[in-house]
Structures are given as structure tokens and as C-alpha cells.
Structure 1
């Protein structure tokens, strides 16, 4: 594995680039030059058990016009004490000479990428564009079977570089799907677990055992059963009808495996026709039959929701909310418009992620979920102060500094110290301008 150690000169140079919010993606070109600053900072005197931040900008409420519409976001400067990975105190701003100066930067919850594939990527290696072949998803399965052995040779190193890209964009946590199939067996999982262990002080993750090549199409069953015995968090799946040819058989296996091992469920569902709708309805019924899965079950992509008539969309949104099944959406996806606002209005948990970043499926991932929130705001016409501030939920997996009525709800004393400092005056500006991330804290550790 290639060493990621930096000289002091390189550390200072690369840290400056990162804090300047460089817009290029250096890891694609010279992976060794990308700022691997995290271990350096952790070993410095900044990564101490207790410290205080001053001149921290927090949102305190909304300003309204005479008609009751939000016109601006009020903020003020505060002093924040962090101890043992938690926010210990939130107080009036001070001139404490020993405090770290946040210089008026906006403090937001660190971002969460809730759908990504950290285990298979070209990032950190030479540039390669997508090569499309015949056969749709099954054609891509055949391609993966050919290229995965080579990708696995340095997948731990590339996963670490990908994590560093996410961190530079303010993300401190990810839900990663990891290939579990006869070609990789459990190697992809083990390599990614090593990368995550190397980054455990600066990055958190939950893992989905993902049968990318089908559950039965390539007989991933024994490998999924083995993966389920490990400390993964979710049992995954992909298009049970078009890949495995049977909705019920595949979904029954997935649900039972999750129940047997106390895991959640996260299913890739690209099918947008009748089979897609039947899969959604079947999963809703299975979750209602097994309430322990409520709040722990997700449909990734779920493009069929974007193909339904408005009345049917409303019906499905209500059913998903009642079953507490979340949607992890892709923003955007070609000409398809997912009903994200409708889902949110019906209290369906909606999250997003970068999915692919420079791999054989897609090369457009930037690593920024703040950009995803920006794209959603554009797609759904959320250009007001209030609308933009609500779109921040897509970058944080739900948390916003102010609730929908403008009351302060984050941070609170006792919260985990997972924080991003943004060069913006408020959440609305951060979403609208995709404002630069200047610093990241994970579990109290100053990542950069």
C-alpha cells in the first residue's frame, strides 16, 4: 500500500489548498498530493480532549415581513466548549486568548453522505471515463466481474483517498454500500473495513452488504450470510425482478436475513415500471408485518416514485411514512424528477449521497452533499430564504440549526461534536452558493 506520509512543507501547502476550497479534484490526478492532513492534525496539540472555540456564528432565528414570510436568518457569535467528543457548553462569545478563533465562520452540523460506494472507485488512481457496453445492468455486472480483481488490489488506499475528498467537502459520516458477491467474496468488505479503521478518529460510517450482482443471479447467498455475521449495519439488494427474476423470493430472503441478524435494510431500486411499484408495496407490507424494521428500512433511488401519477405518489408517500421507510434519493437523475418535496411534506425521511465518484458507473461525483442540496433547491424551485434553509436537510440527513418555525434546535449541550465550519452567513447562503468548507470536526477531533 502506498504511503500517505507528508513532509511538513507538503502538509502546510496541501492544508492551505484544502482550506482555500480548491475546486479541482487533485486526487484524480496526483493522489499522493491530496492533503492527507487528518492523522497529522490528530497527532497535534489541537486534537486534545477539551478545547474552546470563540467567534462561532450560530443561527438564532428567522426574520419575518409583515405578511409572515421569512426574509432573513438571524445569527450571533458564540463561544463553544468541546470536551471528550461532545459539545459541553454554548455560551456568550468571549475574548479568551486560549480559545481557537472560528473567525465568524458559520457552524453547521457536519454533512452525511448516505449513499456512496467507498469500496470500488478509480479515485486516487488514473483517470478513466465510463465505458458503456450492451446488456444494461446485467452487462455492467459482467464488466464488474472482469475488473473487480484489479480494483481490489489497492481498494483500501483508494477508499482512504475518497474519504479525504468527502472530508474536504464537510462530510464526516457516510453510509457505504460494499460489494458482496462471488467475484469479490468478502474481500471488498475487509479492504474497506481496514480503510475505515485507519480513519476512525476522523470519519464515521455504516455499511450495507450489497449484492451488486444479484442475490440469486450469481448466488451471493452464502457470502451475504457470512457478511451478516459481521458488524455491518444493513442488508442490501438490487432490482429483485430484473436481476433475480422474482420479487417475493429475493425480498423474503433479504428481510429474513436482516431479522435473523438484527440489521437494517437498504435496497437499490432502479426499476421504474410495474415491477418497481410491486417491490415498494411488497417491502412496505413486510415491514408492517415486522415492526422491528420500522425506521431501519430504506429504498435507494426508488425511481418508480418519479413515474407515478400525483394521486398515486401521495398514496405511496403516506404508506412509506406509516411504515417508516426512508428514501435515499439521487439528485438529479437525467430527466427524472423525484417527488422529494412531497415525500418531505408527508414526513418520509429523505436523504441523499454522491453514489458513484469517478468509477465505472459514473464520473460526475464531486464528493459534496452540499452540492446535492443546491441541486435539489434548483430542481424544486426552493430559492427563498426559508426554502433554501430547509434544503440543508439533504446534506445533513435531516438536522438543521433552526426548526421549521425558526427555533434554535442545534447545537445543544450533549450533542456529538460533529461540526463543519462554512464561509457563509447562514444555511440559506451555504446551500445557494455551495459555500466553501473551512474546517471539519468529528467526535471532537479537529480533522482540519
Structure 2
């Protein structure tokens, strides 16, 4: 349940730079932000008591439809290959009663409670299940539309070429309300990167949708696929409308080849998403920053047949990003936070984001001295405001 207010004044909070301010909120927007704002009659008052004020967090890549959040523990005995995980999940979902609507709503609410107010989720579009998983997540988006801004990626978990009819289903998913077109490993899953990418870009052009592609392909294979993708971005004028998720290949290439791809990514405004996994190569954060490449963060799956890991706490994900990239200084930890806040919002296209007058009022209050401490200690969320509404207090739904 949310506390609905048309006007709210949060007093005595601290910005990440240390400034002490009040925040005035009207009709879901930050109306003013500064010291000693006037107390107007009829305005709900909330004492921040010196808490640290952060913008609502952004989850750049998750899979709400797959999660077992809140269910009994899933015993994971899947094989080591990507195809093992895909087929294991397909069997589980076909044989069981996993409900993407119920489960996505449970995890989306957990994200909100922990301070995430913008979210991009990939949803399986499958020739066995059709649009069933999408329909469940669309219902979740509708149920939370007043407080959680959600983008849905129509994602072909088995690729677009191997199962006839997948392309048509993806088109139906985009017509039904998916915001972004997904894709998966054109070389190693689809077996024909040219045909796979041609179909993906043709669908995106026809439906006027951006693309977010899972690219797990390693080393030279991944670099080859990435080059083909960038060729199409340039030829079709899709600059600023493509995200490459994972991009493991960029963490395993010789520096000269890697930097040439980074330069093209920057020039074409193609963003990279990383979950900062500990066990695989990752795109180089500092090189991306130096070259002007947008790199942002997300969880990937959370508690599903693929992985027992993940959490709806984006401060935890920021900490894991910082650990993976060996970010230790306070100013470096701020970069990790940007990966789940400002940079993620920009990469996904979430507008009116941040701590400034006119922005959507998505705010998180925590008891921490600094941003770095908030990331490392991950304190309870003292208050979460989403679209001007109080949605959580002290890690409990309001």
C-alpha cells in the first residue's frame, strides 16, 4: 500500500555532497530543493532527521518473469553450459505452475521497498509459452504503474532462428506493450549472426523500438558479432537506441582491438550493461569512462532456475560492481552508484530523473554519513518515495 499525497515536505536531509536541504514535492514532482523551505498549510511534513538523500535507484537489467522470489528454495542441479540452463528452465516452466504474473509482482514490490523506482525487465517470448509470461508482467506493470516505471524487453531466450515463429511472436509482444526488442547470442545460439541480426534489426525498425541484446559470446567470436551489430546501428541510424548486455568479449580482447570497439561504441552511442559477475570477463569500466562509453548495471536473474543469487537491493549491486572493478576510494564508489542511478536512467531512457526541481519525485532516505557508506553498509531504507508517494518506511511497505 502507498501513502498518496499531493503535497509533501521532507525536512532536514543531506545531499551526497553534504549540503543540508529540505525537499518540497507537489503532484509527484520535486517542486523545490533547498534549505529552510517554507512550511505551507495543508502540506504533509516528514522529518528527515539528517538522513542521506539519494535518488530512487534504477535496475537496468533483470528478469522478473523467471523469479522464485518468496517461493520454497529451488534445488539447482543444472549443467554448466548456457544451453543446459535454457533447456532446464524450459522444462521447469512447462511442467510446473510457475506464474510470471504472481512472481513478477512479488519481486517488483521488493524492488520498490528497497528503493528502486525505475526498472528494465527482460521477459521470455517463447514458442511453447507464447505471450503468457509477457501477459503476467504486463499485469504487474499496470498494477504498479503509479509508483514503478517499468520497461519490458521482449526477449527470445532460445534465440530468433532456431524455433520457427519466434520472430512473429516478438512482433506480437511489441504490439502488446513491450517497450524494447531483445536478442541473444547471434553466433553461438542462433548459429548465423548475419541472419539473426538482420531479423532483429528489421523487427526493431518495423516496430520503431530500441534493442537490448544479450551478448555472452566470448573473445573473438563476441568481437565479430559486436562488429556486425555496430555496422547495423550505423547503417540504420539507430545511434543511442541499442544496449549490449553483458558484452563479456570486451573483457578478454587485446587492448588495441578492445579500444577500437570501445571507440565505435562511443561514437554510435551504444550503451553497455554489466552485472559485474565474479566468474567471467567484464567490460573494462575505467576504459569505458575514458572512451566515453556508457556502462551501467543490473542484477540479471534473481533467485531463479539459472542462479540462486541476486537481490532487489540496488545498493548491493553497486557494491558488487565496486568490488568487481576494485573501486575503493569514496569518489570511485560514487561511480559504482552512478551505474545504478543516473547512468542507468540515461542508458534506458528514463527521463526526469535525479535530485533537482522538476524531476519526478523518486527519493530514498538512509541513515549513512556518506554515499560510500550507504553502498558498503546498505542500511535500512528509512523512507522511499516513488512518484511523490511514500511507498516504504524502514524496509517495510507503507
Same fold (TM over 0.5): yes
Q: 1:365 aligns with which of 310, 314, 338?
A: 310
Contact kept, 8 Å, 1:354 with 1:368, in 2: the verdict is no
Partner of 1:53: 10
Partner of 2:373: 429
Q: Partners of 2:8 and 2:366 in 1: how far apart?
A: 20
Partner of 1:91: 34
- Mark the structure with the bigger radius of gyration: 1
Contact kept, 8 Å, 2:366 with 2:380, in 1: the verdict is yes
SS in 1 for 2:15: strand
Whether 1:231 aligns to 2:177 is yes
What are the equivalent positions in structure 2 for 1:38-77 lying under 5 Å apart? 39=1, 41-42=2-3, 47-60=4-17, 75-77=18-20
Partner of 1:78: 21
Q: Partners of 2:83 and 2:35 in 1: how far apart?
A: 59
- Offset of residue 350 of structure 1: 1.0
Partner of 1:173: 118
SS in 1 for 2:369: coil
Q: 2:326 aligns with which of 381, 392, 397?
A: 381
Q: Partners of 1:321 and 1:259 in 2: how far apart?
A: 22
Q: 1:308 aligns with which of 246, 249, 253?
A: 253
Contact kept, 8 Å, 1:53 with 1:99, in 2: the verdict is yes
Q: Partners of 2:97 and 2:123 in 1: how far apart?
A: 12
Q: 1:129 aligns with which of 40, 52, 75?
A: 75
Q: Partners of 1:339 and 1:333 in 2: how far apart?
A: 13
Q: Partners of 2:103 and 2:344 in 1: how far apart?
A: 30
What are the equivalent positions in structure 2 for 1:121-200 lying under 5 Å apart? 121-133=67-79, 136-150=81-95, 153-200=98-145
Contact kept, 8 Å, 1:77 with 1:93, in 2: the verdict is no
Contact kept, 8 Å, 1:109 with 1:399, in 2: the verdict is no
RMSD (Å), alpha carbons: 2.0
Deviations 1:282-337 (A, max 9, x none): 1111111122x211101110100011112222221111010110101121231534
Whether 1:414 aligns to 2:358 is yes
Aligned residues: 381
Partner of 2:193: 247
Deviations 1:345-395 (A, max 9, x none): 222111111111110000110222222221222233322222122221112
Partner of 2:205: 259
Structure 2 length normalisation: TM-score? 0.90
Contact kept, 8 Å, 1:54 with 1:95, in 2: the verdict is no
Partner of 2:349: none
SS in 1 for 2:49: coil
SS in 1 for 2:73: coil
Structure 1 length normalisation: TM-score? 0.81
Deviations 1:235-280 (A, max 9, x none): 1111111111100100011011111111000000111032211111
Contact kept, 8 Å, 1:110 with 1:171, in 2: the verdict is yes
- Offset of residue 399 of structure 1: 7.4
Contact kept, 8 Å, 1:369 with 1:394, in 2: the verdict is no
Deviations 1:58-98 (A, max 9, x none): 134xxxxxxxxxxxxxx132111101111011232369495
- Structure 1's consecutive aligned runs of 4 or more residues displaced over 6 angstroms after TM superposition are none
Partner of 1:222: 168
Q: Partners of 2:265 and 2:114 in 1: how far apart?
A: 31
Partner of 1:350: 295
Query: Which segments of 5 or more consecutive residues in structure 1 lack a partner in the other structure?
Result: 1-38, 61-74, 401-408
Instruction: From the superposition, tell whether residues 444 and 181 of structure 1 become closer, same or farther in structure 2 (CA, over 3 Å).
Output: same
Partner of 2:224: 278
Q: Partners of 1:212 and 1:399 in 2: how far apart?
A: 23
Contact kept, 8 Å, 1:372 with 1:394, in 2: the verdict is no
Q: 1:398 aligns with which of 333, 343, 368?
A: 343
Instruction: From the superposition, tell whether residues 98 and 174 of structure 1 become closer, same or farther in structure 2 (CA, over 3 Å).
Output: closer
SS in 1 for 2:217: coil
Which deviates further from its counterpart, 338-347 or 249-258?
Answer: 338-347
Q: Partners of 1:284 and 1:217 in 2: how far apart?
A: 23
Q: Partners of 1:443 and 1:139 in 2: how far apart?
A: 41
Partner of 1:70: none
Deviations 1:37-57 (A, max 9, x none): xx2x34xxxx11111111121
Q: Partners of 2:64 and 2:153 in 1: how far apart?
A: 11
SS in 2 for 1:167: helix
Q: 2:46 aligns with which of 81, 100, 116?
A: 100
Q: Partners of 1:139 and 1:381 in 2: how far apart?
A: 32
